[in-house]
Structures are given as C-alpha cells and as structure tokens.
A and B are shown apart, each in its own frame.
Chain A
Amino acid sequence: MIKKINLPITDEDIKNLNAGDSVLLTGTIITGRDAAHKRLYELIENGEELPVDIKGEIIYYVGPVPAKPGFAVGPAGPTSSYRMDKYAPALLDLGLKGMIGKGARNQAVIDSIVKNNCVYFAAIGGAAALIAKSIKSEELLCYEDLGTEAIRRYTVEDFPCIVAIDSRGNNVYETEPKKYAK
C-alpha cells in the first residue's frame, strides 16, 4: 500500500510510518547538500540564526541539474546521505522533521531520528529524470553562490520515496539486504 502524505508532515504522520513503506509526498520541501549543510552547521555552532527556518521541514539532499527551457526543474535525484551525517543531528535537534536521500546513515543520526520523532526517506538514486516529474516548481531560498548546492524550496506532488529509517529506528538498509544475502 502506498501512503500519501500532505506536507508539512505531522508528528502523528511520522508515528504512523514504518520502515519499508512506500510514500508519496505532496506540498513543499527544502533542498540542501554538502556545502549548505556545512554553512548551516557552522551557524548553529556559533549560535547564530539560520537563513532559512527548518522547523517542521523536510530536507531533500539534492544538487539538481539546471532546468532545460520548457521544464519546471531539471533532473533532481537524491545524493548519498552519509555525507550529511556529521550535520544532521544538529538540524533535527532544531526541529527538522525529515530527510530525503539515499543510502545508509550512522548510529548518531539514527539515534537523533528516534529522539526527535523524525523520519528518513530514501528516493531512488539515479532516477533523476523520473523524480523531477513530481517536482512542480522551485524557488531559490539562499546560498545562490553555491550553484547547484544552494538551498531551494521545491513544490512537490506525489513525490515518490520509501521510509528507510522510521521514528523507532527501524532501518531498511539493515533489515532488507539480510533477507537476500546468501
């Protein structure tokens, strides 16, 4: 069964999600990857205000391709999440509710997901052209100088992903490969 979620995501929505669920997200999400995370983290460390309010938001780890004329956005698939592991717990502590990326997370991130009642979604790596079909528009929020790594707001409709780590810490990257290992 596919679960449809309207954003912003609620604590109740998050509690009802289980690792392995297929989900379609509709609403708005923000984007950010390596360089933007480094900047946000440094601001947090220095006790400064962030240029974007992350409370209640879902962040998509993506560095999109520029849109070709006639397209709302360029291809935009997930990037590897583990590179954001160093920064993620600090953002979750500030109220970020979810992350979309691909691949495994470290224990500190998993612990922070459980502690803060958050969720980690996986999108399919390398399916950027297809995923972009569910992104209806984009708006630059900050860090324009970072090019593809700037923070943007995406309006999404039925954005497809899978619950990779749920709010109880169940982790498909741990459980699923074991079922097929010989």
Chain B
Amino acid sequence: MEARKISCKEIISAVKKLFMDCNYFIGDDILSALKTAKENEQSPVGKSVLDQIIENDILAAKEEIPLCQDTGMAVLFVEYGDKVFVEDGSFDEAVNEGVRQAYRDGYLRKSVVSDPVFDRVNTKDNTPAIIHTKIVSGDKIKITAGGKGFGSENMSAIKMLTPSYGAEGVKQFILDTVRAAGPNPCPPIVVGVGIGGTFERAAQLAKKATFRPINTENPDKRYADMERELLTEINKMGFGPAGLGGNTTAIGVNIETSPTHIAGMPVAVNICCHAARHASTEI
C-alpha cells in the first residue's frame, strides 16, 4: 500500500476547528446529563445552579463564545495511521499551529506558561499542546481533542496501589480523591479513572477516560458496574452543584484499564469539571 499524503494545512485547519468547537459547544452527553440531574436534584440552590449552568452552555453555543473562561490546556489523543505521510512539515508542528490559530482567532484564553517553576511566563498562544500519539495501521489520522481546565486538573491524583488492595482498594482511593476535591473542581464533575499499566500509562488512561462520552460504559461488565457504583457513592457525598450542597456531585464516572505488572495496580483519577469538553475528527 502506498503512503497517503496529507498536508499540514489540512491538519492545522482540523485541529483549529476541534478546539473552537469543543470550547463553544458542550457535548450532548453532558447537556442531557445536566438536564436529568436538574430534575433529580433535591437542593433548591443546587437546582438553580444546574439551571444556570444549562443556560450558560446554551448561551455559549448560540453566541459561539467559550462556555468557560478556562479554555484549558490543549490535549490531543491521536491515532496516527502508519500509511500517512505529512508532506510539507511535521505533524506536531501542524497540531501546535492549529492550537495557536484556534486560541487566537477563536478568542480563547491563553493559559500556558513556558516554565512551571521559575519563569512562569505566558506563551501567549496556548502552546505547546499535550499530544498523545499512537501509531495504528491504516491511512487516516483520528484526533480526539479537548481543552482541559485546571480547576479540576489540580484535584486529580495517582496512587501506586498493589494487588492485595483489590477492587475495594481501588474504589476507596477514587472516592477519597473525589472527597478531597470537595467543592473545588466545579461539580458536578466527570471522573476519569485509569487503572493498570505503569505510572504514566495509568495517568494517560485517566485523561482518556474523561474524553469518553458519559453516556457510554466500559465494555467489561465488572468495570461498568464499578462505574455505576462509584457514581452512586459520589452523589451521596452531598457536595452538590458548585459545591453548595445537593445530590449531584458527579454526572459521570468513566474507567479505562490496561494490563499491568504482577506487582502493581496503579490507579489514576483525573477529575474534570462539568464543562467536560471534547471533540473528535478523522482526517
């Protein structure tokens, strides 16, 4: 099979559109979960908060403006077909150019600093993006992208559990992490969980889990049950919408897993606010 040529221009314009779209238009999965939550919310304040969040998300889509001021750090999961040849430049540079153009032309916030500890100077174009690339067979590039806000990112945690902790230990760590986050990550939240792999794979899977629509479940029934059970337990915590009390603290728990080492059972919990933004495209 011959290589399929793709131009940088095509990648730039696809990435640009993904980031503008995901910041303006909340996913149907989130909006419909918010509407259901509003019906079931017991706290009057919680109900009113959900009402305002729904109104906000509809308004943002109508006016094509970001639904949250934290338009996030640009994160992309890429499935890169091994028959694809980018003919006039590098893939990563094209992705970063797409991010640059989206954040400039789409009136998104530039939230990235160059050095984490000492300089902390804003790069003024929201680059560099966090790009997770997996080479797959085929002649297409599939991209799932999202702007990840840091109010919730800061509430995330990873723990290197060991096998004897079992399913109970996994659930306990997830619940402890959500409880510690409390009202801070803009509840109702989406909880992304990565279990297995190595230290960094678990974290990557947790992020990937936050990008999976919340109206889907893990294909393995045991993990799907765990997702449902955790959602129920989290909603008993009482934090509620905006942390002001109520029975809607989370609207989704997504678990992704990976084979791991005989000695290990890493668990990463990536918390995402109700503005769980993601969009996909195929080139």
- Indicate if the CB atoms of B108 and A177 lie closer than 8 Å: no
**Contact call B186/A130, Cβ cutoff below 8 A:** no
**B111 part of interface (Cβ distance < 8 Å):** yes
Bitwise, B241-258 to A at CB < 8 A (1) or not (0) is 011111100000000000
B239's contact among A128, A162, A177, by CB below 8 Å, is which?
A177
Q: Evaluate contact between A76 and B245: CB separation under 8 angstroms.
A: no
Is residue B226 contacting chain A, with contact meaning CB distance below 8 A? no
A102 to B53, CA, bound (A): 14
A157-177 interface mask toward B, CB cutoff 8 Å, 1 = contact, 0 = none? 000101000000000110111
Check A180/B245 contact, CB under 8 A, given A76-B69, A129-B63, A129-B66: yes
Could you say which residues of chain B place their CB within 8 Å of the CB of A66? 107, 109
Report chain A residues within 8 Å CB of B53: 124, 126-127
Q: Once the chains are docked, how many angstroms separate the CA of A172 from the CA of B107? A: 34
Complex contact B56–A130 (CB within 8 A) = yes
**Quick one: given A65-B66, A103-B183, are A148 and B240 in contact (CB under 8 Å)?**
no
| Interface-centre pick from B65, B110, B151, B242 (highest chain A CB count, 10 A) | B242
B185-208 with Cβ < 8 A to chain A: 185-186
- Grouping DSSP codes into helix (H, G, I), strand (E, B) and loop, the B interface class, with mixed when no group exceeds half, is loop
Contact A177 B240 (CB under 8 A): yes
Complex CA–CA separation, A147 to B275 (angstroms):
23
B273 touches A125 (CB 8 A): yes
In the complex, identify which listed stretch (B42-50, B84-92, B210-218) lies at the interface while the others stay far away.
B42-50
A67 CB-CB contact with B under 8 Å: yes
Stretch in contact with the other chain, from A43-51, A77-85, A90-98, A111-119 = A77-85
Q: Which residues does chain B contribute within 8 Å of A129, judged by CB atoms?
A: 56-57, 59-60, 63, 65-67
Q: Which of A65, A82, A126, A149 has a CB less than 8 Å from the CB of B108?
A: A65
Contacts of B274 in A (CB 8 A): 126
Q: Tell yes or no: A89 within 8 A of B by CB.
A: no
A146 within 8 A of B: yes
Instruction: Tell me the bound Cα distance from A126 to B184 in angstroms.
Output: 12
Contact with B182, one of A71, A103, A130, A160 (Cβ below 8 angstroms) = A103
